[in-house]
Amino acid sequence: MRDRAVGDVFTTAEGNAPGARGHMDCTEIVRGQAVARNTPIVIVRNDQARVTHEAAIGSVSRKELETLMARGLSEDDAVDIIIRGILA
């Protein structure tokens, strides 16, 4: 998210059967005056199910950004590469 964007992400993962497995990995990147909120819901209805959640909200590393820009990339291109790397 960038500039003055505001984002609300609502995610739900459920484990309803024996042996059910699930994991949510939510990552938001903010730039400028953007605001990101993440509201995870994990529901488990079976004692043999396992559901986990991980959330991270952060910014692009200034050092990584400067390294890519020193190699000739624009700031926007450098940010895109960093974000693609995080999502991969």
Out of 1-5, 28-32, 42-46, give the one with best mean pLDDT. 42-46
> Which pLDDT score is estimated for 27?
79
pTM (predicted TM-score): 0.57
Longest dimension (CA), the chain: 53
Look at residue 44 and tell me whether its pLDDT is greater than 90.
Answer: yes
DSSP result, 2-68: -TT-EEEEEEEEEE-STT-EEEEEEEEE--TT-EEEEEEEEEE-STT-EEEEEEEEE---HHHHHHH
